[in-house]
């Protein structure tokens, strides 16, 4: 059958809880390959909760549904403070990206405790701000930024990545509501090693199977390119 929409492929899925340095309980899920050891880990950071973003925002949910099986990746999703989903409500209140620093730290502590390999921060919209602001504090391979609005990450916080050799992969939709490719290139020019990908026809929310597949392909191209091309049917032909 064709892989599309919400279909979940085989994986080991575990409801988890994270504890932040300031004492909050965050709810989440870890998805692992069904029978293999993961080759890398995606620590996902969801869109703005005050605009409906949460751990089940569709790109992150589909990454967890597909990539453990298709690309041998571990996928960690969680609700930042004050954010709820069918999985549950994380403690605390939304802090505009400030106290969420502790939420990122809690996720990375979990990755370390579980000895999950080669972690990457994968942020979408608001999640890209958290990755840019706080990712350099942690042992990660790099960041993958989907539809970065650059509303909260300062010019200095962006430029700081120029002194860091970890990878910065940026996907900017042609028709983004907040930051389109021409301006995004200027804003990210402070990081000479940015891997900049402008997506023709793309929109901020990446709606539709063709856009979902493009995002999945680019994530895997960065993290585990040997898994490409990703199967479009399950079981694979």
Give me the pLDDT at residue 120, please.
99
* Tens of pLDDT, residue by residue, the chain (237 residues): 999 999 999 999 999 999 999 999 999 999 999 999 999 999 999 999 999 999 999 999 999 999 999 999 999 999 999 999 999 999 999 999 999 999 999 999 999 999 999 999 999 999 999 999 999 999 999 999 999 999 999 999 999 999 999 999 999 999 999 999 999 999 999 999 999 999 999 999 999 999 999 999 999 999 999 999 999 999 987
Domain hosting residue 173, numbered range: 13-224
End-to-end alpha carbon distance in the chain: 10
Asked if residue 209 belongs to a domain, the reply is: yes
Residue 139 lies in a domain: yes
Q: Which pLDDT score, from 0 to 100, does residue 179 have?
A: 97
Query: Which domain CATH number covers 110?
Result: 3.40.50.1820
Answer whether residue 20 is part of any domain. Answer: yes
Closest by alpha carbon to 25, among 73, 69, 81, 77? 81
Whether the full predicted model's pTM is greater than 0.85, yes or no, is yes
Flag whether 231 is in a domain.
no
Amino acid 134: pLDDT? 98
Tell me the DSSP string of 36-93. Answer: S--SEEEEEE-S-GGGT--TT-HHHHHHHHHHHHHH-EEEEEEPPTT-EETTEE-SS-
State the Cα–Cα distance between residues 189 and 170, nearest whole angstrom. Answer: 12
Distance CA 228, CA 218 (A): 10
Domain tally for the chain? 1
| Residue corresponding to tokens 């907040």 | 178
Domain assignment present for residue 233? The answer is no
Nearest of 73, 38, 71, 53 to residue 123 by alpha carbon: 53
> Is 2 part of a structural domain of the chain?
no
Residue carrying the six token digits 């620093």: 101
Whether residue 3 is contained in a domain is answered as no
Question: Which region holds residue 68: left if phi is over 0, alpha if psi is between -120 and 50, else beta?
Answer: alpha
Inside any domain, residue 232: no
Residue 26 contacts residue 18 (beta carbons within 8 Å): yes
């Amino acid at each position: 059958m064709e892989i599309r929409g919400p279909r979940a492929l085989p994986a080991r899925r575990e409801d988890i809880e994270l504890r932040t340095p300031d004492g909050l309980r965050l709810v989440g899920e870890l998805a692992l390959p069904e029978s293999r050891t993961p080759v890398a880990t995606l620590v996902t950071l969801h869109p703005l909760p005050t605009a409906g973003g949460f751990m089940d925002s569709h790109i992150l949910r589909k990454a967890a549904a597909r990539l453990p099986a298709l690309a041998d990746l571990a996928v960690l999703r969680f609700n930042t403070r004050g954010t709820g989903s069918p999985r549950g409500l994380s403690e605390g209140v939304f802090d505009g990206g400030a106290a969420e620093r502790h939420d990122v730290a809690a996720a990375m502590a979990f990755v370390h405790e579980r000895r999950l390999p080669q972690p990457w921060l994968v942020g979408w919209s608001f999640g890209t701000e958290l990755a840019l602001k706080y990712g350099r504090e942690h042992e990660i391979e790099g960041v993958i930024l989907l539809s970065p609005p650059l509303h909260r990450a300062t010019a200095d916080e962006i430029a700081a990545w120029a002194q860091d050799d970890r990878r910065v992969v940026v996907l900017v939709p042609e028709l983004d509501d907040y930051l389109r490719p021409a301006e995004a290139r200027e804003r990210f020019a402070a990081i000479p090693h940015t891997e900049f990908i402008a997506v023709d026809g793309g929109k901020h929310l990446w709606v539709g199977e063709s856009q979902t597949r493009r995002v999945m392909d680019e994530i895997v191209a960065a993290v585990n390119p040997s898994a490409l091309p990703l199967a479009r049917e399950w079981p694979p032909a």
